[in-house]
A and B are shown apart, each in its own frame.
Chain A
Amino acid sequence: MAFKRNIDRLPIIPADAKEQIVTCHFCIVGCGYHAYTWPVNKQGGTDPSENKFGVDLAVQQDPETPNWYAPSMYNIVKQDGKDVHIVIKPDPNCEVNSGLGSIRGARMAELSYSKARYTQQQRLTDPMVWRYGQMQPTSWDDALDLVARVTAAVIDDQGEDGLFVSAFDHGGAGGGYENTWGTGKLYFEAMKVKNIRIHNRPAYNSEVHATRDMGIGELNNCYEDAELADTIFAVGTNSLETQTNYFLNHWVPNLRGSSLTKKEEQLPGEAHAAGRIVIVDPRRTVTVNACEVEAGKDNVLHLAINSGTDLALFNALFTYIADQGWMSTDLIESSTTGFDAALAANRISLEEAASLTGLATADIIKAAEWIAQPKEGGARRRTMFAYEKGLIWGNDNYRTNAALAALALATGNIGQPGGGCVRMGGHQEGYVRPADGHVGRPAAYVDQLLIGGKGGVHHIWACDHYKTTLNAMEFKRVYKERTDKVKDAMSSVPYGDRDAMVAAIVAAIKDGGLFSVDVDIVPTKIGQASHVWLPAATSGEMHLTSMNGERRMRLTDKYMDAPGQALPDCIIAARIANNLERVFREAGNDSYADQFKGFDWQTEEDAFMDGYHLHAGGGEFVTYERLRAMGTNGFQEPATGFEDGKIVGTKRLYTDNKFGGPDGKAVFMETPWRGLQAEGKQAEKDKWPFLINNGRANHVWQSAYLDQEEELVTDRFPYPYIEMNPADMSELGIGEGDLVEIYNDNGSTQAMAWPTPSARAKETFMLFAYPTGVQGNVVSAGVNEFIIPNYKQTWGAIRKISSIPGNAKHLSFKSQEYPQA
């Protein structure tokens, strides 16, 4: 049977419960929530005077009521050392989500650490070290001393290039302005570490280099633009599942036509209609289905391109729109450079593009018309361009990103209501760090260096390469081999003899070993190889600030205690710095030790004031107190002032057509089509029968680091799924739910087969980054010129390895699509 909680009632939030502001710590959208807490021995009642809502709870509440919460929104946690009830429920007054909660965010309470209710008992509560052949709890002082002494020894021997770092650079959980500053100040200011990578890619680089190089930041519009657009042009973004409440609360009203009044009010003097949408995606997603349900099939154009051919399509659209005279020529003349050269270099015929992409020329023309054909009465059509991992992790990232931004720029859609050219985002953002120019461009390919035996010590911050990297099988093989050398060396000396211990570790490193320090909130897969685990606090266990996909910055209050001795990442970074300073000073290296000054923070607010407040653009206007007063709506960055008790923000960027390139102009690039760009991809495609496309599922957040210990998700997905065409399954003798092996020359992995009639023959889609079957195992090491991975274009073979396992027999494998008339 499907998982059921058998909860038949919940404690009622009393009228005097404490209310704390929360931004969901999962995806980029950053939905507003409130956390209500009250003493464990108290409860509210159904009488309006006895509950927080002031309503009669003895009657059934209406659809969309704010006066209800699901069992997943409830828990018992510690607050200031005492047990309290907690309810974390979506805020109806937050402009982002208007009370909507996704299947991920609406489980925040249930995904919290609770001893009383046994939830998230996997959380790390104490520093752990490799001692007597296993990971054992220890004190912060002991763990930090070991980390500092080994790190210092490696720096003494190899210089700072011997210190490898994997670190988050985003917002929300496992990130945020406090923590990116804490780690950034340690590795980029106290030191100049260049062998550093980010959680989902093997180097320290932008996923959207090209748009930035054009002078156009990638988050340049506001969510309301999706309500105002005539057309949404969505590329490689399955927004219903990956930016759920942005889609539901801002795209759907436009597709339904219910934002027409808003269009007429804000944009008078031009024709308006319900929104249309073009979706570029080789796969038919639930987003396509939902758009058809809302807008009608006539207003949805799904361009199911051949995987990896986006660039050819965009260049064809650019060419066609230019040839029709639908470009914004005045803007191109006054505010950009390089247009003529780009048009000449990128020119491609409709016929050639159709051949490459597999589309009909008529559909390419239709897309061009929906993007840029002047509206009735002659007004410019307003088109919002949205893209995410289908482009970012797709073929020829840099050129493709530039070609899409060029379309938006040339059609006058940057900085205008109903426009924008934006990445949709994965995590929230929360980046403030000292300058990183020393990292270089292209940045070091960290995974390949580690595989090649480089580096002596590896600091990992909320990253799990074992689940979220490319060439993962080879990476794991070598990483285990190198870290095992150090484990064996550590087991050869008494733990209490610190000098002997450090000497043994250093000797093992010289023999090709690697010392691994993992800072995280849970034991990770890569952490299985580590020698030290440092327990971190997450959002809500510390105050945390981040911004969402429209640059909306909020503060999440600390509403509960961190588990055990866990600390905010920024404080852990500061304590590592303190210990490195001490160790270098004890060694007589005062001048180097002095570089680690300035880490005397006691709280995350200290890190915020040292980082964001002093270093972020507009940061001088922002404090915790001011942010708290702005509630779940916050303000949109950058801040430009503080007036009447409110932080003044910026709704859209580039509204004055002043861009980030030389002389304030935006730059067009030459981006001709050049086939499958990453090394080895074309040969892989030629050799193997199945496309192994990959991405996210609605149920699961990121690498399932919390979901892996939550029954709703693990019951639904004991294994990652792979969507397959039913005829392909028959041919291979595979039934629904059967475990299959996906394999190629890069490695192998497993998934359960989900028959999907809408899947094209020989084109599959596998859930990415799942603990019980890592898709990255079969992704090649091929990257683009700036070391951006190409996860999406992966080809392999498939074979059955087991009939449907017992823990999958109760699962539904019906269509994910909402039925249409």
Chain B
Amino acid sequence: MASCDKLVDAGRRQFLRGAGFGVAGAAAAAIVPQQAAAAPGQARVNYPSNRLGNISDLTLNEAFDTSYPDDSAPGVLLKLGTPVEGGVGPDGDIVGFSTICPHKGFPMSFDANDRTLNCPGHYSRFDCEKGGQQVWGHATQNLPQYILRVADNGDIFAEGLDELLYGRLSNVL
């Protein structure tokens, strides 16, 4: 088992790797501060609408790495095969989650056997079929889930989050 230090490094690598995704997110994030400056005092952050992929990109029960709302916030899209609450797409089975553990920020991996996201730092587990509910663990919140929209051509857009992301005091930086 890797030491804590190695896990931190793994986390950093994960973030760097995540930079290859979510170009649209990065662009949108760059625009947000200007919008915020033009409309001060809004009660909530303005979430970008980012295209994360197309339904055709997804394989049943396989993690599709992505990021949202910007390239330093890694996440995952999943096609689960059965309709779930919060699921989108023709089968109501597509969901997206942050993959940073809300306990201490380690990168989590998807276990296809029981469709959970699991943290190697301190063993927390989140159920992708139950809205990211923490099955067992240390986080004081359930896993931030993407609010998704599917366009007519099958493009999947993320347009919001339902919990605060680890490591930032504003979901949109």
Contact = CB atoms under 8 A, between A and B. Distances in A.
Given A2-B131, A6-B163, A63-B167, 12 more contacts: A1-B86, A3-B142, A9-B164, A10-B169, A61-B168, A62-B12, A63-B100, A71-B164, A103-B139, A293-B123, A812-B130, A814-B116
A5 interface: yes
Contacts of A64: 4, 8, 104-105
A814 B125 contact: yes
A135 interface: no
B162 A57 contact: no
A698 B124 CA distance: 11
Given A62-B8, A814-B114, A100 B171 contact: no
Given A63-B104, A68-B166, A103-B137, A810 B15 contact: no
A698 B122 CA distance: 13
Nearest to B127: A812
Contacts of A62: 8, 11-12, 105, 167
Contacts of A3: 142
A293 B1 contact: yes
Given A61-B105, A698-B138, A8 B127 contact: no
A726 B4 CA distance: 36
Given A60-B15, A72-B140, A102-B138, A6 B162 contact: yes
A2 B133 contact: yes
Interface of A: 1-10, 12, 57-65, 68-73, 100-103, 106-107, 110, 240, 244, 248, 256, 258, 286, 289-290, 293-296, 698, 712, 716, 810-812, 814-819
B138 A63 contact: no
A810 B114 contact: no
Given A10-B164, A71-B164, A816-B125, A60 B73 contact: yes
Interface in B136-172: 136-142, 145, 161-164, 166-172
Interface in B97-120: 100, 102, 104-107, 111, 113-114, 116, 118
Interface centre among B45, B127, B138 (most CB of A within 10 A): B138
Interface residues of B, number: 58
A819 B119 CA distance: 10
A812 B133 contact: yes
A70 B141 contact: yes
Nearest to B69: A8
B28 interface: no
29 contacts: A4-B141, A5-B141, A8-B45, A8-B170, A9-B44, A10-B169, A57-B168, A57-B169, A58-B173, A60-B173, A63-B8, A63-B12, A63-B105, A64-B8, A68-B167, A70-B166, A71-B141, A103-B137, A258-B3, A290-B123, A698-B136, A712-B141, A810-B85, A810-B130, A814-B135, A815-B114, A818-B125, A819-B113, A819-B118
B132 interface: yes
A92 B142 CA distance: 24
B7 interface: yes
Contact of B163 (A5, A58, A101): A5
Given A63-B104, A716-B134, A286 B123 contact: yes
B66 interface: no
Interface centre among A7, A64, A102 (most CB of B within 10 A): A64
A57 B167 CA distance: 9
Contacts of B123: 240, 286, 289-290, 293, 818
Contact of B127 (A60, A295, A814): A814
A716 B133 contact: yes
Contact of A244 (B12, B100, B138, B142): B138
Nearest to A105: B140
A256 B3 contact: yes
A60 B167 contact: yes
A107 B141 CA distance: 10
B92 interface: no
B121 interface: yes
Nearest to A13: B169
Given A62-B8, A103-B137, A258-B3, A2 B173 contact: no
Contacts of A819: 111, 113-114, 116, 118
Contacts of B104: 63-64, 100
Interface centre among A2, A10, A62, A248 (most CB of B within 10 A): A2
B126 to A, nearest CB: 9
